[in-house]
Chain A
Amino acid sequence: MKEQRMAAKTCVVSLAAGILWLAACEAVQANGGPFVVQYPGGDPAAKGVLARLDPGLKPGREERLAVTKENLTIVFNPERFIIKEETDRPPLANVSAEYLIRNPTDEEIEMDFGFPILRGIYVHPHAMVPRPDVRVEVDGRGVPVDIISNSAIYGIIRGQARAVIDEGIASDPALSNRVRRLSERVATGREPCRAELAEYLTHTRGWGERDAALLVEYASLDLSRTDLPRTAPIWSLHGDAEMYRLATGNLGVLAAIGEQKATQFLARLAGQFDAEGAAGYERIFTAWGGDVRERSVDLETGGVRPREITVGSDATDATLYARVDYLDPNAKLTKQERASCEAILKNLPVIFTFAPMNLIHYRAKFEPGTEKIVRVAYSQYAYLDTREPRTYQLAYVVHPASLWKDFGPIRLTVQVPEAVEFAASVPYERGTGGAGAIACKPGYVSYTANLEDKTGELFVAVAAEDWHLAMGAKPATELLTRLAGE
């Protein structure tokens, strides 16, 4: 019985670890499949950013508007809507980034802003339509926010890629003729056309054999089919017809291999025609500062180090391992379509597709010579680091500030309950009041810092046991003793 209780305890420990949808790895053959690892816990990936959203979905450099200053406020709060009493819940970090933005020009500037969210963003448990808890205000008034889902990002990439591919084909009459001849041969006489097209691409245009094979399949497939089941969109597409259209567009037969591989396929081909213009998902992810390295600030040293996360023993392993077959075995494909899908999967290069990213999009207008306050607020669960003493951590991407020609000081204020040990990856001071718009909560203490170096990421952390005690949990030693039945 004692052993069972110990196993249960290990289970609880393993549970306290983070979620990561490690979406894909090496998949070179049709059945190679991505190596998937998922495990429970908090996600270190969700990180706030302010940047101009360029049409390619990357952050753009902004030289007209100036950010006079930024007040960044982080409050470690308990979750307010707990249905079932649990003593091991992580803090819900409420993040408020308030930017004072000036338009020094004599022209009105209307700008699209992007704000990537990866994982761990808070979704209100009682909302009729589940959406991430993200709010944007300009001078105190809420502005509409679009959530460009991961699927929609893929869809936009596909749309742009197809335009590049088709333009590239059209610009080369010899190529265009060969593609047309192949696409017109529906049932018979295809092989000579396929061989002729591949020969032209490799010998005349100098393409590699694999890329040539991909274009042959592009010319062979019907991307207008709409009867194949699509990747199921998640929360952000509910009720948004435009986003749904984007997310499901330019798939056709490729729906059978899934949006991720379909997108890689088209982006890869677009890159053959326009290396700079074509943007694959990974480039967008990286441009927003996406960095898959899980890191934490050490509570004792204040230094940044790899995150430590224990997920239990083999006997109680809560980690999920799987390899995924890209090609849907139930997809209603002709023999020819199936062969094309298999050829695409075989000839696509290995990529490392990182965490799914969703983009928050909003638009703000700045009249000439004016200054406005843009406030972005969101909530996310802090993620656990299991190095003793255990901590809850939050990361914030500072790097996009470098995309602005003028970006003033960043004033950081973090509020945590008194008696909860705190650490940050930047020098800070303990105070009693916040410099930001949010007043310090009763029973809380503020820590403040000025961020001089606007590169990389900021990490803040609180001691996990202090947190649970502050939330009314029994001391860990007592809890563990009870679990162990001693």
Chain B
Amino acid sequence: MNRREFLKTAAGAGAGALALRMSGALGAGFRPAPVEPSRRKLIVIQFGGGTRCSETIDDPEQRYIPRLWREMAPRGTLFTNMRVEHRVVHPNSTGSIMTGHWEWDDLDWSRPVAHPTIFEIYRRSRGAPDTAAWAFVYASILARTGESTADGYGRAFAANVVEPPTIPRATAERMDVLMRRAAASGSPAAEMEAAAECARLARTTSVISRRGLRSEAGRGFLEDEYDRWRSGTGTTSHDAFLTDHAIACMRHFAPEVLAVDYGEIDCAHYGSWSRYVEAIRRTDELTWRIWRASEELPAYRGRTLLLVLPDHGRELDTAGGWGFIHHSDFYTNEGADEGCRRVWMLAIGPGVRGGRKIGRPVPITAAAGTGLEFLGLEASPGAAGSVLDQMA
């Protein structure tokens, strides 16, 4: 293929996959032909669980985000100063990203968010069925980010929401006993056997919520996927669960609006630096898998805007402080420092300039308006403005 043929192909519908294969050859400024707004799709990935810039984009070697930094960032625009302006806690950030407004200042996450979500706005505007909007969220505290209490919206236009399975407390206690006994033996082999047994218990005794599914089609999809997971033997990672099922959903329903909200990075609360950075590394890999799927699946290729952003950061390392372990007291905002408030957003998609970095402050709430503008729609009145024009 000569250069002319290559550029011609790259500007067409198949640009994504080809550009992926030729990654590095295109460089900055990659702009495929725009697709009709009504045929576009939006994927929002919450690089979640609280991730500091110091372990991601500010790390000189980007050790924990190799996929994102080396393969994805050159293809997109990176906003390096996204701001978390209200409470630094996962559901609030997630809800705010989905609506464009700062949500849940009252911390009552059992209620839907107050403003129309990207899912509802899309479905109502386009008359789309429930299977056009999906949210894969890491815990039930995010389950109400798929619907709002706003007038004219609500369950009738809500996203299908998938949460990972949960286990009964009795199982958790049984797992504790097994792991404790194995640890007391001092035998690595015994501990591995116990871990395997616990993983089996975690699968076989698990239950999964169906409350977030809006139709028989959605419920049927989840039943099949969950059965497969229960009979599997791989990792019990919930973020991996979300990824597998989000990709399956992309293949099955090809939703127009998809959110994948990761959370296992939040294991940092337990004090292990290794687990924290390992979770970032895994999230990097899982994010990359979603992106690859969006590049490879015909329903998404060349017509999808992918927004990747952490929900919030974590505290800076200071003498006497908790550092990476916590992300402020969100009841009082004590400890909500720059480590908590500054995150980033990577945007990849048709019309988005590659390799660009934008350092001006942008609230994380801008994600909603940006995604909706790409779809040819508008966020609700008062929502943070779109930054789509800055990516071109």
Contacts and interface: CB of A to CB of B under 8 A. Distances in A.
B2 interface: no
Interface in A289-329: 291-294, 306-311, 314-315, 317-326, 328-329
Contacts of A29: 109-110, 140-141
Interface in A345-372: 346, 349-350, 352, 354
Most buried by A among B184, B209, B235: B184
A309 B275 CA distance: 8
A292 B270 contact: yes
B86 interface: no
A19 B192 CA distance: 10
B192 A40 contact: yes
A89 B187 contact: yes
Most buried by A among B186, B195, B199, B264: B186
Interface in A1-52: 11-12, 14-16, 19-22, 25-26, 28-29, 31-43
Given A28-B110, A42-B183, A324-B171, 13 more contacts: A15-B192, A19-B182, A26-B266, A33-B166, A36-B175, A40-B192, A84-B189, A232-B173, A232-B177, A234-B180, A293-B325, A317-B235, A323-B167
Shortest beta-carbon contacts, A-B, top 8: A292-B271, A306-B273, A40-B191, A317-B235, A22-B270, A19-B183, A15-B188, A15-B192
B285 interface: yes
Given A21-B180, A92-B186, A324 B273 contact: no
A325 B168 contact: yes
Interface in A227-278: 231-232, 234, 258
A324 B271 CA distance: 20
B109 A28 contact: yes
Contacts of A258: 169
Interface stretch (A116-124, A140-148, A214-222, A402-410): A116-124
B230 interface: no
A349 B141 contact: no
B331 interface: yes
Contacts of B176: 21, 38
B267 A328 contact: no
A346 B188 contact: no
Contact of B169 (A119, A310, A315, A324): A324
Contacts of B236: 317, 319-322
A184 interface: no
B90 A88 contact: no
Given A38-B198, A322-B202, A352-B269, A31 B140 contact: yes
Contacts of A39: 195, 275
B140 A324 contact: no
Contacts of A291: 271
B309 interface: no
Contacts of B187: 82, 84, 86, 89
Contacts of A76: none
Contacts of A314: 234-235, 237, 240, 282, 285
B67 interface: no
A125 B139 CA distance: 39
A79 B238 CA distance: 36
A90 interface: yes
A381 interface: yes
B172 A324 contact: yes
Contacts of B223: none
Contact of A326 (B169, B207, B269): B169
Contacts of A322: 166-167, 171-172, 175, 202, 206, 236
A122 to B, nearest CB: 7
A29 B107 CA distance: 11
B237 A317 contact: yes
Interface in B138-194: 139-141, 164-173, 175-177, 179-180, 182-189, 191-192, 194
16 contacts: A16-B188, A19-B191, A20-B272, A28-B109, A29-B110, A33-B139, A35-B263, A40-B183, A40-B191, A41-B191, A43-B183, A310-B278, A314-B235, A317-B237, A321-B202, A325-B168
B274 interface: yes
A165 to B, nearest CB: 22
Dominant SS among interface residues on chain B: helix
B325 A292 contact: yes
B164 A306 contact: no
B110 A11 contact: no
A320 B175 contact: yes
Interface residues of A, number: 77
Contacts of A122: 184, 186
A36 to B, nearest CB: 6
A8 B235 CA distance: 15
Most buried by B among A12, A89, A322: A322
| B-side interface size class | 35 or more
A393 to B, nearest CB: 13
Nearest to B198: A320
Given A88-B188, A292-B270, A38 B235 contact: no
Contact of B274 (A11, A19, A120, A308): A308
A86 B141 CA distance: 44
Most buried by B among A292, A308, A324: A324
B168 A329 contact: yes
Interface string B205-229: 0110100000000000000000000
B189 A35 contact: no
Nearest to B91: A28
A20 B276 CA distance: 14
Contact of B189 (A15, A28, A79): A15
A35 B274 contact: no
A130 B184 CA distance: 10
Nearest to A306: B273
A362 B263 CA distance: 43
Contact of A320 (B189, B202, B330): B202
B167 A79 contact: no
A32 B179 contact: no
B267 A35 contact: yes
Contact of B168 (A19, A88, A89, A328): A328
Contacts of B192: 11, 14-15, 40, 318
A144 B128 CA distance: 72
Nearest to B172: A324
Interface string B238-279: 101000000000000000000000011011011111110010
A411 B141 CA distance: 50
A324 B167 contact: yes
Given A28-B141, A306-B274, A320-B236, A37 B183 contact: no
B134 to A, nearest CB: 20
Contact of B195 (A125, A308, A320): A320
A88 B189 CA distance: 9
Contacts of B273: 294, 306-308
A165 B140 CA distance: 31
B120 to A, nearest CB: 21
Contact of A325 (B183, B207, B263, B285): B207
B51 to A, nearest CB: 16
Most buried by A among B109, B209, B240: B109
